Amino acid sequence: MQQITIQRDVVEPWQELRSQADDLAILAELGLEEEDQSVAEEIERGLRDAQRSFARLELLAMLSGKHDARDAIVMITAGAGGTEACDWASILFDMYRFWAEENGYSLEVISAVAGDQAGYRNVTFQVKGQYAYGYLRAEAGVHRLVRISPYDSSKRRHTSFASVDVMPDIGEEVEVDIDPNDLKIDTYRSSGAGGQHVNKTDSAVRITHLPTDTVVQCQSERSQHANRRTAMNLLRARLHELERQKQQDEVDALRGERKGIDFGSQIRSYVMQPYRMVKDHRTDVETGDVDGVLHGELDQFIRPYLLEFAGKRGDEA
């Protein structure tokens, strides 16, 4: 039934758009026959609406991967740059939070490790809503920031990096073979705000998959049992993604073209000094509205990427 609903949501808008275009064509023919100029404004308005609908549906057609309709699990990891990079990871987190709110998605933090002075060393969160993964997979890669450091008393320009990893939340629906003997499970006290329960019990859970050295953790729930379940779902998603990459002979480029989180590896640059520009190096799309981008205006980058590269990726394994 879920698949039927998804397919219906794909087909019906195209049928409505075709009906809208047919109505406009009939209206134009009547206007020409009767030499009625008054319908011109109505036709132009209808065409603009139809063009906007077509642009949205064209992008949706690119989201045909096996897991594109699922929720997304996003991990942001600070790279080269120390405190600057940790602060940059926090800024990126806010950027995706703004984008999620603007597009009607909900966002829930799964785990976070704070930086020594500011921001995050890493933060993992889930974006819930239809096609969250399909859209956000365009964000996977290294993001570079150039700005005057607020942490540098000499006001020098600094370059910081953070990596963004995006996976579909496959939950328990997709079978992933995990041997319990391959798991190391640790519990610890949650950190950060969260009421009287936080820091009083060992409710946070960290799971290490020994054969692949994959580590996941969850501290967002109040109970250890709930955190363990969420951590296992996260581990299942990461191992599934690892297997998918192995099938594509890209195990050395996990989750896309994984490189070092430093110079020369970025997919997008955010420059605040000596000029203001955000540029996506995959599509060459750029804008001078840095503040708008950092407040969640990402569709101008997501759309060109999906239209250009989605067809080359093939279906998700």
Closest CA to 75 of 60, 103, 96: 96
Could you please state the CATH topology (level 3) that the domain comprising 180-247 is classified under. Double Stranded RNA Binding Domain (3.30.160)
Predicted pLDDT of residue 248? 56
Regions of the chain with pLDDT less than 50: 193-199, 249-258, 314-317
Predicted pLDDT of residue 234? 86
Predicted pLDDT of residue 261? 58
Predicted pLDDT of residue 85? 93
Task: Locate the DSSP E strands across 139-291.
Answer: 141-148, 157-168, 183-188, 204-209, 214-218, 266-271, 277-280, 286-287
Rounded (10°) angle between helices 299-313 and 39-61: 50
pLDDT digits (tens, 9 = 90+) for 220-261: 777 888 888 888 888 888 888 777 667 654 434 444 444 555
Predicted pLDDT of residue 199? 46
pTM of the model: 0.72
Is domain 72-173+250-313 annotated with CATH 3.40.50.300? Answer: no
Predicted pLDDT of residue 253? 41
Predicted pLDDT of residue 191? 63
> Distance between CA atoms of 107 and 114, rounded to whole angstroms?
18
